[in-house]
A and B are shown apart, each in its own frame.
Chain A
């Protein structure tokens, strides 16, 4: 991972399998050689992770991108471009202290014009938690978040049923698969007017639902009161995906699981 504008990356420190589809092992011979960018070496695909004041999952998201072979680039919310990245992640956190409404201030950050243009051009956008809230606020995804019905911040693992697997961003998942991912939010109670909910369901915009371990839906497995247990949405073109759970917190067995890796692999591949 690196910060935008800090120049070229230094010698690789990876574990030798960090780059699926990148330099094959052995291309440089048996001698461990620092990777030098050159015509023979394809660059790793770059994914922008937008950092807002109050983001707190940005480094985790960057680490997740790097772990699946991408190159994460931190883009400051005041930047006006995405540093040439082919995909963008809006990370979790509490941008602007959740002032006004969760994601409302972030939605009007200078960088969001570039994010909108990127999305309009078909570029991949993944919004996680606060990033999902921000995508709702700018209207790239439908509906809005209310406070959890318990009125509490909820931090625990949930079951998550995959509802779409026919889109590039969800290609490493399969319909009906149950993921275990943690949530950590107070405003995750997805709401829309009845006709908007019907449109969301009819158009296949639901990417994930909160579910029981066997994949069934019930009130007990819906942690926050979201309508129709909706945990994640995708836009009509399929390139903008938002979800409340935190896939970046499940990308290694030492973190409790790898259920989140599939999304990051897809984002890197889409970059």
Chain B
């Protein structure tokens, strides 16, 4: 099944890249954009049809390698 993994910097972590994008948007007359946070989206094809098990395995992979939980948080969507 296809699994979506969204990884983003934790709210308390500065995101200079997002801030730079916000400034560019403001310069292009999108001043109403007040905040930009940049993250990663990964699409995984995972074998098996036990949703609970697939979710548990992908979350384990997130903690082990896909995300760095010092600075990032992740969300797994089936």
Contacts and interface: CB of A to CB of B under 8 A. Distances in A.
Interface of A: 100-101, 104, 107-108, 136-137, 143-144, 146-151, 189, 191-193, 196, 225
Interface in B2-17: 9, 12-14, 16-17
A82 to B, nearest CB: 23
Contact of B17 (A100, A101, A147, A192): A147
Contacts, number: 38
A100 B71 CA distance: 13
B66 interface: yes
Nearest to A192: B70
B65 interface: yes
Given A151-B20, A191-B71, A193-B70, A146 B13 contact: yes
B69 to A, nearest CB: 9
Contacts of B17: 147, 151
A144 B71 contact: yes
A147 B71 contact: no
Nearest to B9: A146
A129 to B, nearest CB: 17
19 contacts: A100-B65, A104-B68, A108-B65, A143-B70, A144-B68, A144-B70, A146-B14, A146-B16, A147-B16, A147-B17, A149-B14, A150-B16, A151-B20, A189-B16, A191-B13, A191-B14, A192-B70, A193-B12, A225-B16
